[in-house]
Structure 1
Amino acid sequence: MTKTVIGLLLALGIACRLAAIPLPAPPVLIGALLVLAMTLGYVLTDWFAAHRAATTRPLCGGPTGETRGNP
């Protein structure tokens, strides 16, 4: 619970203003939209990659890095 409150205070900039440190976010709308787009892109890519079948698993090497051969 306390980590959540601290995170929200940091995200809103209240804790940064009280501690007189720079905000850890871009101060303009374009920068904020860039951060949002990068975050959404990362989350969507992770979601799509996790829900796809691993079709090349037999071609991957083991702990030694040697492949198992051609399928």
Structure 2
Amino acid sequence: MGLLLGLLIGAGCRLAGIPLPAPQALIGALLVLAMTLGYSLTGLLNRCRPATQADNCGGPSGQRQTGGTR
């Protein structure tokens, strides 16, 4: 869905003749790399600690989990 939205925005900008709302190629690539590394590193650091509020999470079904962390 995100890819489709990106393609639609790009096509709309091209048809309207306005500059594409995106950073320069190198800056954009570094931004994506930094976001990916930050997301991955945060995930690795959070694996060592169990979720303390898992019992309060309703999840997709809306039912509260019982019995501690997953």
Please classify the TM superposition score into its range, dividing by the shorter chain length: 0.3 to 0.5
Q: TM-score, normalised by structure 1?
A: 0.44
- The structure having more radius of gyration, on CA atoms, is 1
